[in-house]
Structure 1
């Protein structure tokens, strides 16, 4: 790879005007308008930032109006999806071998890379966390696409949607791939100011990304940010027709040539991958038929009276994996026509200083209802393998999965196809602590359930089978000795063993 080249609002690694549209609608909106003008005046030459502030104003204006005229979802209109809304994966025809290369050359892969690793005790982008054999999320993603391109003699570019929180560190990390045979582009999602929960005025007084005052407004921002950066047009100029979008921490979200072929054969605009819901997924969004049209329903949109109904696995059998295939020219058309009014997610937070603030966010899947040709594909559970916690990390670092060419596949020696339930306590919450408490990853091929609470350490070559519960009460300490085999065991008390 060559050095990075800056192009408009995006950056590429590889071989190869703000207009005010503000209407005063009351004292609050006028005050917000005045505040935003003051902020944007500090960077008069940054047109992209001004465009972001224009978009933010539109959304906060919408939020204020919707608060006044709030209309709750009519639960009577919520129906199970029609058969044509969700197509089973096993009913899709495999890709023809002689067509795969040409189809791949019309595809780009976007990974959502705006999140930090703070929830797992890490500093910097979550994509930089080591997840397997010293390799990070980003390393594995690059390996996947490099292997895909070399196998099919294709040129699928990798695109990272960063946030202002992750961009600087990501740019430094990407230098390690300069000599790799892969084209990598980056662009930033928008940066919006948090607003005071009472006055609704931005708490930011400066255009600088001050900690706590600004936030990335959710992955639904991808449509406008991709367009505003100029990268969407760049991809179209390169002959790309579709993008495959997924979270960078979902290690199961690889390019599936079978789905790729289906996307082109059906000439669809938007395909959302869903998978069968389990009791662990009761909060996940689901595809529904709402008043005769397809849409994605999130739990935040469900009236409180019907939340338990929404969570029932029997009624809503599938949930959103956030793996999405989207036609690029359809995105361009909808953005230019300003038809992507995504459902607002109101995220209430409290700053370190105690100020109550609101973040207005949107989700990428909510755009489903705006695309003329949209449907879901019910994919195998293996395509949903996110690492949101060290409990998830425990699973992907174990012998349950085999790593090859950046792809994790379940070990064929696993008797059952399901993934065990693992719940590690607060002592394991941070990656550093998690790593220190295991001499080596335990063998869990026959594990069904693991629950660990308290100050517990595992020796090397431990085998866990069936249901294992380990509880070290407050002040107690438990060492699981080297080579131990725990089968349907409950371990509690205080156990200290010198590991030789």
Structure 2
């Protein structure tokens, strides 16, 4: 079972997918509908929102930002207190007084129309985290007025006006009883230290190694060639782009310079082989829905060592590995391709489950798994337990000797830098990778050194940009985002050419209205609610 599946199961066990009542219209895109008067929330989308919020909070925490935790639910008081102790964040209770930030909502007799001042004794926070948003709308209004980003748990019954003010809404049912205590490990868990941990769904303990603790691979090209000659890269290519409105494999979506993620991967492997004089083959494990379209893409790469196979569809599963991985491995075994790889001297498979646009073959990890005869190794992002690159290293001999059950002994994991994981999940990611923030070089995307902030911008595009075709039509050209921190776009918004976005930019077109960002516009820490705001 993957970590993704384990977290989804935790969400389901805690009833995080059950809303209190039928959802408001704006919330329905995050649901599967309703049953018996209760909204069924999409746990996959909840997990995506949770990861985005954790990434944002983690980035702020790395810069020693100030947080304000707001909660009126006694069920989670103990969890919040423990989190504050573990993270070293200060928890001030002055938010309980109306007007704690702006004095805007204090009684009229305590304020003047001509003079408003800050009543609170604490410094202005960099982020407000709200655990019970429906009871603290005044906090949301004040933080919004000061343009302080808000992270909060939201319920399907939340009004649209309040929902739009939350920078990172996490779609969960409101906490009741002891339910929240079951998800306590997810709160405040920012770092994944080296050692041994236990993951739900995995029978064996998972030994986690720090990437920095790995012995570096040799710089000698001859020794690097010997390592690479033992490797084969397998890409699980069964994801369709339906979620992004794309009729075909997700790997066929254009990323940069007319190249798809599959083109970039093939070019990267070719550069690797050419540089070291080795022969690392690329195997594409398709399913019936992606095989034909993938063959058309591969025809353009006829000069490269690319092999396409169709996965077997098995119903059984091994708890130690993802279902798609097991299908791919058993397909290699049954097709005879595994024996061919062994006869060519191949020892390890690097299995890619996502469309990672970063450099995927890490020589230090390859050197470690070969020298230590590791049977199974997974890559995990160094900042969060729930985030994983979905890249795994598998010993081929293990598959050949134990093809059906108990494929591996105790697994290990290596924490890798976040910069080594550049997946394409939605059109917000496309905006980042198509922009001037990245350039394509030798099959991988290289980050623009002109950007000072080590983290990528946080981008949230509305449903009008959800489909690839709509996304491309709404941008005359992709804006410059080198100095952008946060972008939120909702409604009928269109971008001209040569637009530059900086700082925190929010563009919200009201229903029935249209906002057109003119050619050459520079939006620097700007909030746009109608066309007239652009002329100010």
TM range, normalised to the smaller chain? 0.5 to 0.7
Counterpart mapping for 1:32-43 below 5 A: none
User: For residue 387 of structure 2, what is the aligned residue in structure 1?
Assistant: 319
User: For residue 454 of structure 1, what is the aligned residue in structure 2?
Assistant: 491
Q: Is the 8 A contact 1:137 1:248 kept in 2?
A: no
Does 2:414 match 1:377?
A: yes
Does 2:492 match 1:424?
A: no
User: For residue 522 of structure 2, what is the aligned residue in structure 1?
Assistant: 485
Rounded Cα–Cα distance in structure 2 between residues aligned with 1:253 and 1:223: 23
1:54-96 superposed Cα distances (whole Å, 9 cap, x missing partner)? xxxxxxxxxxxxxxxxxxxx99999988616211112222211
Counterpart mapping for 1:437-452 below 5 A: 437-452=474-489
Counterpart mapping for 1:195-234 below 5 A: 218-234=324-340
SS of 1:177's equivalent? Answer: coil
SS of 2:381's equivalent? Answer: strand
**How far did 1:422 drift?**
0.7
Distance change (3 Å), C-alpha of 1:81 and 1:418: closer
Counterpart mapping for 1:136-285 below 5 A: 136-178=260-302, 180=303, 182-191=304-313, 218-252=324-358, 254-277=360-383
Q: Is the 8 A contact 1:127 1:248 kept in 2?
A: no
Counterpart mapping for 1:46-195 below 5 A: 83=195, 85-96=207-218, 97=220, 98-178=222-302, 180=303, 182-191=304-313
Rounded Cα–Cα distance in structure 2 between residues aligned with 1:487 and 1:82: 41
Rounded Cα–Cα distance in structure 2 between residues aligned with 1:157 and 1:495: 56
User: For residue 301 of structure 1, what is the aligned residue in structure 2?
Assistant: none
Rounded Cα–Cα distance in structure 1 between residues aligned with 2:449 and 2:239: 33
Q: Is the 8 A contact 2:354 2:389 kept in 1?
A: no
Structure 1 residue ranges (4+ consecutive) displaced by more than 4 angstroms after TM superposition: 74-82
| Partner residue of 2:511 out of 458, 471, 474 | 474
Q: Is the 8 A contact 1:104 1:155 kept in 2?
A: yes
| Partner residue of 1:339 out of 387, 395, 405 | 405
Q: Is the 8 A contact 2:359 2:444 kept in 1?
A: no
Q: Is the 8 A contact 1:112 1:219 kept in 2?
A: yes
Question: Alpha carbon RMSD of aligned pairs, Å?
Answer: 2.8
**How far did 1:439 drift?**
1.5
Q: Is the 8 A contact 2:255 2:261 kept in 1?
A: yes
Instruction: Kindly indicate whether structure 1 or structure 2 has the higher relative contact order, using CA contacts under 8 Å at least 6 residues apart.
Output: 1
Q: Is the 8 A contact 1:253 1:323 kept in 2?
A: no
Q: Is the 8 A contact 2:239 2:249 kept in 1?
A: yes
User: For residue 442 of structure 2, what is the aligned residue in structure 1?
Assistant: 405
List alignment gaps of at least 5 residues for structure 1: 1-73, 194-215, 279-316, 341-369
Q: Is the 8 A contact 2:508 2:530 kept in 1?
A: yes
Task: Return the TM-score normalized by structure 2.
Answer: 0.58
Rounded Cα–Cα distance in structure 2 between residues aligned with 1:319 and 1:386: 12
Q: Is the 8 A contact 2:273 2:279 kept in 1?
A: yes
**How far did 1:442 drift?**
1.0
Q: Is the 8 A contact 1:468 1:488 kept in 2?
A: yes
**How far did 1:217 drift?**
6.3
User: For residue 27 of structure 2, what is the aligned residue in structure 1?
Assistant: none
**How far did 1:264 drift?**
1.5
Rounded Cα–Cα distance in structure 2 between residues aligned with 1:334 and 1:495: 67
User: For residue 396 of structure 2, what is the aligned residue in structure 1?
Assistant: 328
SS of 2:309's equivalent? Answer: strand
Q: Is the 8 A contact 1:121 1:431 kept in 2?
A: yes
Rounded Cα–Cα distance in structure 1 between residues aligned with 2:448 and 2:183: 43
Q: Is the 8 A contact 1:273 1:379 kept in 2?
A: yes
1:341-386 superposed Cα distances (whole Å, 9 cap, x missing partner)? xxxxxxxxxxxxxxxxxxxxxxxxxxxxx52253111101012111
**How far did 1:319 drift?**
2.9
Task: Return the TM-score normalized by structure 1.
Answer: 0.62
Rounded Cα–Cα distance in structure 2 between residues aligned with 1:220 and 1:422: 34
Rounded Cα–Cα distance in structure 2 between residues aligned with 1:269 and 1:248: 21
Rounded Cα–Cα distance in structure 1 between residues aligned with 2:352 and 2:476: 33
Rounded Cα–Cα distance in structure 1 between residues aligned with 2:388 and 2:503: 29
**How far did 1:263 drift?**
1.8
**How far did 1:192 drift?**
6.1
**How far did 1:324 drift?**
0.8
